[in-house]
Amino acid sequence: SHGEFIMLGAFITWMLYTLFGVNPLVCLAIVGPVVFIIGFILYRTLFTSLRISSASPGAFEGSSLLVCFGLLFIIQNVAILIWGADIASYVYLAFPVNIGGAVFAANRLVTLGFAIVIGLVFYLFLARTRLGKAIRAAAQDPATAGLMGVNINQVLALCFGLGALMAGLGGSLISMMVSIHPAMGLQYTVIALIVIVLGGLGSIPGSYIGGFILGIIGSIVTYIEPGLAMVAYYVLFMLLLLVRPTGILGK
């Protein structure tokens, strides 16, 4: 369902910019906390109860997957009720920038810069801070982490909220470059899953590498035939599962 948080971030940014004139880059500071709170509350009210009532971790994962699909359509339809089903867009930093003979849209360069900074900050947070280490421990082995004094329910809720926050920030950045619509979340959910598998499950650096590779492939295919971009992603995904199912940096 995190693709829907991307959609929410995009529409909140669009609304703040078009109705109130708030700079889209300033919107990042608004979207992040708002989407984090939504994700945190969802986990505490829905997924915590589901986790307690599940007979095993495997049952919880299966139930969570079904619940996430339900949330996907609920959030999508709520967005349609609020903002309508039409495609929305706005113009921001759309002028060209020439770098070494190559021309880029300024908004894409700004988005790239912010994405790199946000990704590095999040990586350092997970790798260097006490809370980040608790999140990694809870994700890898919740039972052992609980025995070591980690409040599993609280940490997992924070983890879900942070995931929603990152998705919301991504949506804000995406809205500066492309048109948005309430059904856009599913496409990004699929892309995110392919990136995770491509990089290797549980590997943060692998996710960055996987995202970079997928972005390059998508850009090349889009240049040749825009309609084949998602087809290329699926083909790459299937080949990866056949050749190296653990991913690039997976173990």
What is the pLDDT, as a whole number, of residue 59? 75
Q: How does DSSP classify residue 94? A: -
Would you say 31 and 195 are in contact if contact means Cβ atoms under 8 Å apart?
Answer: no
User: Is the Cβ–Cβ distance between 47 and 160 less than 8 Å?
Assistant: yes
| Model pLDDT, residue 222 | 81
pLDDT the model gives residue 212: 84
User: Residue 105 corresponds to which amino acid?
Assistant: A
CB atoms within 10 A of CB 63: 16
* Each residue's pLDDT expressed in tens, for the chain with a length of 251 residues: 788 999 999 999 999 999 999 999 999 999 999 999 999 998 888 887 787 777 776 777 778 888 888 888 889 999 999 999 889 988 888 888 888 777 888 888 998 898 889 888 888 888 888 888 888 887 777 777 777 777 888 888 888 899 899 999 999 999 998 899 998 988 888 888 888 888 877 777 788 888 888 888 888 888 888 778 888 888 888 888 788 877 777 66
What would the two tokens of residue 83 be?
Answer: 């903002």
pLDDT at 35: 94
pLDDT given at position 41: 92
Stated pTM of the model: 0.87
In 129-151, where does DSSP find H-type helix? 130-140, 142-147
Question: Rounded distance, CA 165 to CA 34, Å?
Answer: 8
Identify whether the C-beta of residue 167 lies closer than 8 Å to the C-beta of residue 184.
no
Cβ neighbours around 64 below 10 Å, total: 18
**Residue of 177, 156, 166 lying closest to 211 (CA atoms):** 166
pLDDT of residue 250: 66
Q: Residue for token digits 């890898």?
A: 140
Side-chain-facing half-sphere of 154: CA atoms under 13 Å: 8
Q: Distances from the Cα of 100 to the Cαs of 57, 97, 103, 104, in angstroms?
A: 53, 10, 8, 11
Helix (H, G, I), strand (E, B) or coil at 202: coil
Which pLDDT belongs to residue 182? 92
